[in-house]
Amino acid sequence: MSDKTRNKQDMTISHNEIKPGSMPPNASISRKLREFYDAVQEEGIPDRFLDLLEKLDEAERNTKSVKVK
Partner 1 sequence: MTMTESDDRGFKRDLLASLPNLRAFAVSLTGRHDKADDLVQDTIMKAWANQTSFTAGTNMRAWLFTILRNEFYSQMRKRGREVQDTDGLFSERFSVHPEQYGRLDLQDFRKALDKLPDDQREAIILVGAAGFAYEEAATICGCAVGTIKSRVSRARSRLQELLGVSGEGDFGPDAGHAAITARAFGG
Q: What binding mask, one character per residue, do residues 3-42 give for partner 1 by CB under 8 A, x or -?
A: -xx--x------x-xxxxxxxxxx-xxx-xxxxxxxxxxx
- Provide, rounded to whole angstroms, the least separation between the CB of residue 9 and partner 1: 8
Residue 6 in contact with residue 20, Cβ under 8 Å? yes
Residue 6 in contact with residue 16, Cβ under 8 Å? yes
Residue 14 sits at φ, ψ, to 5 deg, of -80, -20
Using CB under 8 A as the criterion, which residues of the chain lie in contact with partner 1 when the complex forms? 1-2, 4-5, 8, 15, 17-26, 28-30, 32-46, 48-50, 52-53, 56-57, 60
